[in-house]
Amino acid sequence: MKMKRIKSIHKAAAWIFQIALFSYFCFQGASAIAEDKGSGHMDRIVGAWTWTSKQSDGELFTSVMDISLEESGSLMGGIRNPEGERIPFESVNLKGDQIQVVVDHEIMGQAFKASYGGKVTGSNIEGEVVIRFQDRILRRGWKARRLLEFPLTGEWDWKLSTPDGNELKATLIIHQDAEGVSGRLESEQFNMPLREISFKAGQLKFVTQREENGGTFYSSGKWHGNLLSGQVI
């Protein structure tokens, strides 16, 4: 079973990432694919993290960083802007309880590097961001908290390879509201609501049932940014 995100319905403001550089430079949107070299306790960092930055004019910008695991065991994550654009990080590393994300970016021909580093304690990260621009180095405190928002909200292309060599195709729709997480799996042949949905440490699980024959199907998949891969039994 493989699923690829085709549409996200997060609120636009939840995917804005800006770095105030001096009084006017800003950087929006980022994505990261990097190798984890930590102690193996990577579940502590998987998920979405948020923090707020203030511009020189007093305007606030909310940043959201999502981190998941590749099938290879490497870390993957980043920041999505309202247009869905993704710009790669230079690196993401987790060593013990220390996380570091490095962004190598260019604006109007001017290159700068920003390094976010901090200690992961439960649902919080606390440390500093270091911005290097030309011969200047700026440092400021950085505090991020775990975001409880479901990171898989949206529509996903769903494909399932069958034993006879065919491929079933459908759309997986996941939605979060005040009542919790809901969804359905729909195609021209069926429309099945999702039951018993859970998402923990990057692992999505749900149950579907076809009314025609009463068959019950248990799906599980690992989240890798814009891709979910797993199995149906």
Per-residue pLDDT of the chain (233 residues; tens, 9 = 90+): 766 666 554 332 222 223 333 222 223 222 333 333 333 467 788 888 877 777 667 766 667 777 877 778 888 777 654 444 556 778 889 999 999 988 776 666 778 788 889 999 989 999 998 988 888 898 999 999 887 767 788 889 999 988 898 898 999 999 876 567 889 999 988 899 999 998 876 788 899 988 766 689 999 888 776 778 888 98
Burial (CB count within 10 angstroms: exposed 0-12, middle 13-18, buried 19+), residue 160: middle
Helix (H, G, I), strand (E, B) or coil at 54: strand
Determine the Cα–Cα distance for residues 109 and 174; give it in Å rounded to an integer. 40
CATH code of the domain made up of 154-232: 2.40.128
Which residues make up the CATH 2.40.128 domain(s) of the chain? Answer: 154-232
pTM of the model: 0.52
Determine the Cα–Cα distance for residues 102 and 195; give it in Å rounded to an integer. 39
Determine the Cα–Cα distance for residues 89 and 29; give it in Å rounded to an integer. 10
The closest of 115, 82, 83 to 101, measured between CA atoms, is: 115
User: Please, what is the Cα angle at 69 between 37 and 74, to 5 degrees?
Assistant: 30
